[in-house]
Amino acid sequence: MSAFQRYIRFHLKSILVREVVMALLMAMIAFTWGAAKIGRSQFGRSANIENDIYYGIITVVAFVAVIYAFIIPVLEFAPYKNRRNIDLWFSSPLSRNDIFRVGYISGLIQLAASLLISMMTVSAKMIVFNTQGADFNLAMPSVYFGVLLLSTAVVYTINCFLFICANSVVDGVIYLIFFSLIPGNIAKFIMLFREKTTNIRELVNNINEMLTRKYYAHYELPVVFTAKLDIANIDADKRYNEVLNYLDSWLGETYVIVIWSVIWVLAAAASLYFASRVFSRMKSEKLGGPSDLLFGYTILIPAWGYSKILSQSTSILVSPMFTLVVMFIGYVIYRKGVKLKGIDWLMLGIGAVILIVSQVISFATETNTLSQFLR
């Protein structure tokens, strides 16, 4: 038996309790939530039962699965952010690549096991209700959980990379948060930019519309996918092939989701490659110190800060200024003290310039000064 095989067997055994607790928790949530909705339905009207049970699964299980995709990378890789642990693992006959693979694969197994048990619970519930007049197709939960697993696996993989880039658990968690917020900011900014030349009323309408839309951040993939499946289910004849047909039809229509999905799948593939590389080259002596990898605070603070400032350009001045303050706090956390480096001040300075310029443009647009000037 190879070192990898020995370690994965040992590791899966040692996290068995955690695995069972997480899987049961998700299954219980799926089951209980669905039951609560059904309890409020008029029993005997099968259509309501079916809709309610899917509603319960989709809104809650997808949400829980996304949370797991954030928690599991932390649980799996946090031990390798501690110097004491590193003395054991990195001096042992396990290669760093094996250690990474075990962490990554066992995380995926936890995710899959949780979703599988939830699927079985929900399927069992459907079988029981089918005996009482409902008409659930058991293919549906299979498709639903399959799609959920693939999309959460994408989120999980990207999160593994982000967490591994950090030199401490706290930094890793901050990376996950920063990264999750950036795509939303960018989407908002793009929308604002597109609508800048229209009048203020239109702009406000667009912002409202935009705020209720999905931003297609990586963590939203599972929710978007499963919500679409829900739509497919409501209208479908509950037969597997037809569900797939519906899947095809909405995929064809909603090309934006397809584009985002491709982007995030590619990002996940790149994340997996770089996570393995970063882990194998990790400088153990830096653990606990500032997380100074390029893809870390160095990129995430300005990326989050600038996109946030730009996406707030029509709001009151306090909000983007608050963003600058958060950026400053981010640098303080990064440098583990208030003694910031020149590059940090430069990034903050650029943020301040962006703030001023965007406020001026915003003011000019709102008062039609810009269009008059351009004319």
Partner 1 sequence: MITVKDVWHSFDTNVVLEDVNFVAKDANVLGLVGINGSGKSTLLRVLSGVYQIQHGEVLYEDRSPADADVRKDIFLLPDDPYFTNQSTCRNLLDLYKMLYPQFDANTYKEIISYFRLDPNKPIRSFSKGMRRQTFIALAFAVGPKYMLLDEAFDGLDPLARNAFKQRITEMVKEKGSTVIVSSHALKELADFCNEYLLIDRKHVIYSENIIKENAKVFKYQLIFKDGVDSSKFEGIKARSVQIVGIVATVIMEGNEEEVKAKLQALSPDIMERIDVNFEEAFIGERGRFQGGGVVR
| Positions in the binding site for partner 1 (CB under 8 A) | 3, 6-7, 9-10, 84-88, 90-95, 98, 281, 283-286, 289
Minimum CB–partner distance for residue 164 and partner 1 (Å): 16
Minimum CB–partner distance for residue 13 and partner 1 (Å): 9
Minimum CB–partner distance for residue 60 and partner 1 (Å): 32
- Looking at the Cβ atoms of 90 and 295, the one nearer to partner 1 is 90
Name, in order, each residue with C-beta under 8 angstroms of 225's C-beta and a sequence gap of 6 or more. Answer: 147, 148, 151, 257, 261
- Looking at the Cβ atoms of 86 and 210, the one nearer to partner 1 is 86
The separation between CA 277 and the C-alpha centre of its own chain, rounded to angstroms, equals 22
Contacts 24+ apart (CB under 8 A), 271-276: 271/157, 271/158, 271/160, 271/161, 271/162, 272/104, 272/157, 272/160, 272/161, 274/161, 275/100, 275/104, 275/157, 275/160, 275/161, 275/164, 276/97, 276/100, 276/101, 276/104
- Looking at the Cβ atoms of 90 and 274, the one nearer to partner 1 is 90
Minimum CB–partner distance for residue 72 and partner 1 (Å): 19
Q: How far apart are CA 86 and CA 346, in angstroms?
A: 35
CA gyration radius, the chain:
24
- Looking at the Cβ atoms of 7 and 129, the one nearer to partner 1 is 7
Q: How far apart are CA 339 and CA 8, in angstroms?
A: 43
Which of helix, strand or coil describes residue 334? helix
What the block records as the tokens of 302 is: 């300005």
Minimum CB–partner distance for residue 221 and partner 1 (Å): 35
Q: How far apart are CA 15 and CA 273, in angstroms?
A: 25
Minimum CB–partner distance for residue 364 and partner 1 (Å): 46
Q: What are phi and psi of 197, to 5 degrees?
A: -80, -10
- Looking at the Cβ atoms of 3 and 24, the one nearer to partner 1 is 3
Tracing tokens 């939303």 back to the chain, one arrives at 184
Question: Which of 54, 230, 229 lies closest to 134, judged by CA?
Answer: 54
Minimum CB–partner distance for residue 8 and partner 1 (Å): 10
Amino acid at 348: L
Minimum CB–partner distance for residue 21 and partner 1 (Å): 15
What the block records as the tokens of 16 is: 């068995």
- Looking at the Cβ atoms of 91 and 372, the one nearer to partner 1 is 91
Which of helix, strand or coil describes residue 223? helix
> DSSP character for 95?
-
- Looking at the Cβ atoms of 51 and 284, the one nearer to partner 1 is 284
Cβ contact 307:182 at 8 Å? yes
- Looking at the Cβ atoms of 80 and 246, the one nearer to partner 1 is 80
Cβ contact 83:288 at 8 Å? yes
- Looking at the Cβ atoms of 82 and 319, the one nearer to partner 1 is 82
- Looking at the Cβ atoms of 253 and 285, the one nearer to partner 1 is 285
Q: How far apart are CA 238 and CA 232, in angstroms?
A: 9
Minimum CB–partner distance for residue 142 and partner 1 (Å): 36
Minimum CB–partner distance for residue 289 and partner 1 (Å): 8
